[in-house]
Amino acid sequence: MNEEESSPGVNLDDPEKKNYIIIEIEDSAYLNSDFEKYVRGTFGRDQKALTPVSLSRLLDKFIEEKLVLQSASSQNISLNWEEKQEYLAKLSSELKSEGSNISVEEMDTEILFDRLLIEKYTYVLVKDIEVKEEEAKEYYNLHKREFLRSQRVEASQILVETEDQAIEVMESMKNVSEEDFRRIAEAVSIGLEAVKGGKMGVFEMGQLPFEMEQVLF
C-alpha cells in the first residue's frame, strides 16, 4: 500500500460511506463504521488530526486484530459471562481507586472485550509450549537477523476531547514527575490506557501514527 494515499475504502468523514465494506474475513464483513468505531476507541474523537499514513497503519492493526479474533472463534475460544463481569468489576474498581474521570459505562466494552479475548487466545496458544535450551540456541544461531531490533520507546498519552483541554493539561504538566504524569492521566484522560496511567506500551518505528512517531523518535 502506498503510504502517501489513504487506505482503500476508508473514509471516516463521509457518513454516506459508513456501510462501505473495507475488509472481508471468511464469512464476516467489516464496514467503514466498524473501523471508525475502532479509531475512536483507540485515539478518541479527534480523527481529523490523523493523516492517511496513520489511518493506513491503524487499518493494518484493525485487520490483524480481526484475524486473531476470527482464529479464536474458529477454535471455539471465547469469553464467558463470568470472565467479562470479573474484568469489568476489576476495571471499575481500578478507575474508582485512581480517581479517574471516566467510568466503565462510558467505555466501549466491545473493544475492551475484543482485546481481552486476544490476550486469552494468545495465552491459550503459548501456555503449553516448552522449548529446550538447545533448541532455543540453535534457532537463535540460525535466525540472528530476526532478533536485531530497531530503536524502541515506551509511549504514554493523555487523551482529551478538545484542543483547549489539551493546552490546559500541557500547561499543568510543566516539569512534573512521572508519578504526577500518571496521576494526571488517570484523572483526566479519556483513553483506554488511562487506568494504566496513560501507558500505551513499547513500540518500534512504524507501529504508531506518523504524528506520534515524529515526537517519539
Q: Is 99 left (phi over 0), alpha (psi -120 to 50) or beta?
A: left
Q: Shortest CA distance to 33 belongs to which of 53, 56, 10, 49? A: 10
pTM of the model: 0.57
pLDDT of residue 130: 86
C-beta separation of 21 from 63 below 8 A: no
Q: Shortest CA distance to 18 belongs to which of 3, 35, 4? A: 35
Domains of the chain from N-terminus onward: 1-76 (no CATH), 77-129 (no CATH), 133-217 (3.10.50.40)
pLDDT of residue 114: 92
The whole-angstrom separation of Cα 109 and Cα 99 is 20
Q: Shortest CA distance to 83 belongs to which of 43, 37, 123, 44? A: 123
* H helical segments located in the chain: 32-43, 52-74, 81-97, 109-126, 133-142, 163-172, 178-188, 210-216
Query: Per-residue pLDDT for the chain (217 aa), expressed as one digit of tens each?
Result: 333 334 444 556 666 777 888 889 888 899 888 888 888 777 665 556 666 777 888 888 899 999 999 999 999 999 999 999 998 998 888 877 767 667 777 777 888 899 899 999 999 988 888 888 888 888 888 877 767 666 777 888 888 878 888 888 888 888 888 888 888 888 888 877 777 888 887 777 777 777 777 777 7
Please state, in angstroms and as integers, the Cα–Cα distance from residue 172 to each residue in 44, 158, 181, 190, following that order.
Answer: 21, 12, 10, 17
Residue carrying C-alpha cell 478538545: 162
pLDDT of residue 85: 92
